[in-house]
Structure 1
Amino acid sequence: MGKKKKGIAVLSGGLDSTVAVSVFKEDYDIHAVTFNYGQRAANEEINSARAICDKLDFKHTVINLKWLKDLGSSALTTDKDLPILKENQLDDTKLTNESALNVWVPGRNVVFTSIALSFAESEGAEIIIVGWDKEEAATFPDNSKEFLKSFNELINIGSIEDIEIKAPAIDLTKKEIVELGEKINAPMELSYSCYSGEKSHCGICESCLRRKRAFKQADILDKTKYLE
């Protein structure tokens, strides 16, 4: 058996990135990077990412970007109240756009992906794996197919190496991500999606609601522990 190709993964510890990186777990030697940018859920996200990497035998690095916390006024990095929706409001464009604005962290995916590129160049990796998906792209432009295409074009122009960003969930809803995760035996039970940073998922923030709905719609057992 030949030596595996190398990949860098941006792994938040969340559902989307956990499934995305699991798509490549057999064919690539993966180094996952997780970012601590002063978010409420930093500790739980890091613990989750570490557990996933231990399970899948990936190298794991935590990168501190505390300066990002001081930019903007995201509810993820300040004491602002987290936006709360009901499950039947998750497809209300007006409400979800307002919610997204409240949790937006300036330039986050641009920064994360650029740093991942630095790792990829230095380690001879051929791909960068991200968890961007169709459902998130509805309110977060840095999850969109257009963003993926543009960033790959940027790399093609600005990098001396042949590196491509891979986003296997780019055309998938959360339900479809859960279905894919089940099919490929991704360790979804180890992932952490909550905005609040509590040890157990709060069950009421938008991220928790989307996670709960996805498992329910997919009719797949949700092993997540929710406070509510």
Structure 2
Amino acid sequence: MESKKKIAISVLSGGLDSTVATATFKDTHHIHALTFNYGQKSAEMELKSAHAVCKEIGAEHTVIDLPWLAELGKSALTSDRDIPEPTAEDLDDKDVSIETAHSVWVPGRNIVFTSIANSFAESEGASIIIVGWDHEEAVTFPDNSKEFLYAFNNVIDVGSFDKIKIKAPLIDMDKESIVKLGKDVGAPLNLSYSCYKGFESHCGVCESCMRRIRAFERAEVEDKTVYSKH
């Protein structure tokens, strides 16, 4: 008799990182993925992508609306501010990347998302919370770092009756390695969506698109993404 799968809650934006992270556990866990609509410009496409990813890997999917989050701060993701368009050289310039990160920073986003995921994990008896935090993002986003992962796991250890762990399988990886892992685990890379601007076709010029393009090129994996400019 086939053993019953453990339950996992996934924080799934539909982006490259969260798609690969989630797919890593598709054969070992029953996955309930949460996608957040917090007023981001790419919300419609992210929700569409996340739904498609869940359908492909057999995961349950829930959309959670957080309209108030868009009203906090002045992120280019949730306001009329322009999305930065760095050059290819800027991707490896830490000062420029930090400036870009500040432009798209949404106050407390990963803290809020992961806290809500923990509530679902407790209520559903899940053993893990899956997140797409990775090393390349952690260079400029502190809420993607290994230190943040350790700290949040400690908070859950102290603040929950249940033994729940946040699992970040990409925590030591760059985007190239993430694409390679995605191919190895059978992640539906072609269904993921990374663009900050929210166009039906990826813009190809925002930082998220450019990192995606570079990752597929370096990994020598076919990129089926449609870009407006590339």
Global fold match (TM > 0.5): yes
Secondary structure at the aligned position of 1:53 is classed as helix
- What is the alpha-carbon distance in structure 2 between the residues aligned to residue 23 and residue 55 of structure 1? 13
Letter in 1 for 2:58: D
- What is the alpha-carbon distance in structure 2 between the residues aligned to residue 81 and residue 41 of structure 1? 13
- What is the alpha-carbon distance in structure 2 between the residues aligned to residue 173 and residue 121 of structure 1? 31
In the alignment, which residue of structure 1 is the partner of 2:120? Answer: 119
In the alignment, which residue of structure 2 is the partner of 1:154? Answer: 155
Letter in 2 for 1:122: S
- What is the alpha-carbon distance in structure 2 between the residues aligned to residue 3 and residue 176 of structure 1? 31
1:89 is displaced (CA, Å) by 1.3
What are the residue-to-residue correspondences of 1:135-174 with 2, within 5 Å?
A: 135-174=136-175
In the alignment, which residue of structure 2 is the partner of 1:8? Answer: 9
- Deviation by residue 1:71-116 (Cα, 9 ceiling, x = unmatched): 0000000000111101121010110000000000000000000000
- What is the alpha-carbon distance in structure 2 between the residues aligned to residue 145 and residue 130 of structure 1? 12
In the alignment, which residue of structure 1 is the partner of 2:102? Answer: 101
Secondary structure at the aligned position of 1:73 is classed as coil
What are the residue-to-residue correspondences of 1:39-188 with 2, within 5 Å?
A: 39-188=40-189
Secondary structure at the aligned position of 2:49 is classed as helix
Letter in 1 for 2:196: Y
- What is the alpha-carbon distance in structure 1 between the residues aligned to residue 90 and residue 103 of structure 2? 16
Secondary structure at the aligned position of 2:113 is classed as helix
1:169 is displaced (CA, Å) by 0.2
- What is the alpha-carbon distance in structure 2 between the residues aligned to residue 217 and residue 58 of structure 1? 30
Letter in 2 for 1:215: F
In the alignment, which residue of structure 2 is the partner of 1:37? Answer: 38
1:185 is displaced (CA, Å) by 1.0
Letter in 2 for 1:224: T
In the alignment, which residue of structure 1 is the partner of 2:195? Answer: 194
Secondary structure at the aligned position of 2:4 is classed as coil
RMSD: 0.4
Letter in 2 for 1:212: I
- What is the alpha-carbon distance in structure 1 between the residues aligned to residue 57 and residue 171 of structure 2? 22
1:167 is displaced (CA, Å) by 0.2
TM-score by length of 2: 0.99
Letter in 2 for 1:166: K
- Is 1:203 equivalent to 2:214 in the alignment? no
- What is the alpha-carbon distance in structure 1 between the residues aligned to residue 36 and residue 95 of structure 2? 30
- What is the alpha-carbon distance in structure 2 between the residues aligned to residue 84 and residue 43 of structure 1? 21
1:37 is displaced (CA, Å) by 0.1
- What is the alpha-carbon distance in structure 1 between the residues aligned to residue 48 and residue 85 of structure 2? 25
Name the count of aligned residue pairs.
228
1:14 is displaced (CA, Å) by 0.1
1:147 is displaced (CA, Å) by 0.1
- What is the alpha-carbon distance in structure 2 between the residues aligned to residue 9 and residue 219 of structure 1? 28
- What is the alpha-carbon distance in structure 1 between the residues aligned to residue 27 and residue 220 of structure 2? 26
- State percent identity of aligned pairs: 61
Secondary structure at the aligned position of 2:92 is classed as coil
Which structure 1 residue ranges, 5 or more long, are not aligned? none
- Deviation by residue 1:51-84 (Cα, 9 ceiling, x = unmatched): 0001111100000000000000000000001111
1:189 is displaced (CA, Å) by 0.4
- What is the alpha-carbon distance in structure 2 between the residues aligned to residue 8 and residue 204 of structure 1? 32
- What is the alpha-carbon distance in structure 1 between the residues aligned to residue 185 and residue 119 of structure 2? 29
- What is the alpha-carbon distance in structure 2 between the residues aligned to residue 89 and residue 110 of structure 1? 28
